[in-house]
Structure 1
Amino acid sequence: MQEPLNASYPVLPLRDIVVFPHMIVPLFVGREKSVRALEEVMADDKQILLSSQIDPGIDDPDSDGIFKAGVLANVLQLLKLPDGTVKVLVEGQARVRITEYLENDNFFEARAEYLTEMPGDATTTEALLRSVGEEFSRYAKVKKNVPEEALTAV
Structure 2
Amino acid sequence: RVHAEVLSNCVHVFHKGRLRETLHMQDEAVLMLLLRHRASGACVLVATTHLFWDPYRPEVKAAQAELVAEATTRFLIECDRPAAVVITGDFNSVPHLQPEFIGIDVSEEEMRENSLSAVYQLYSQGICPARHPEHPDRFKPKALPAIRSSSREKPQR
Common fold: TM-score over 0.5: no
Q: Shorter-chain TM-score category?
A: under 0.3
The structure whose residues are more often helix, as a share, is 2
**Superposition TM-score, scaled by structure 1 size:** 0.22
Q: Which has the higher contact order (CA 8 A, sep 6+)?
A: 1
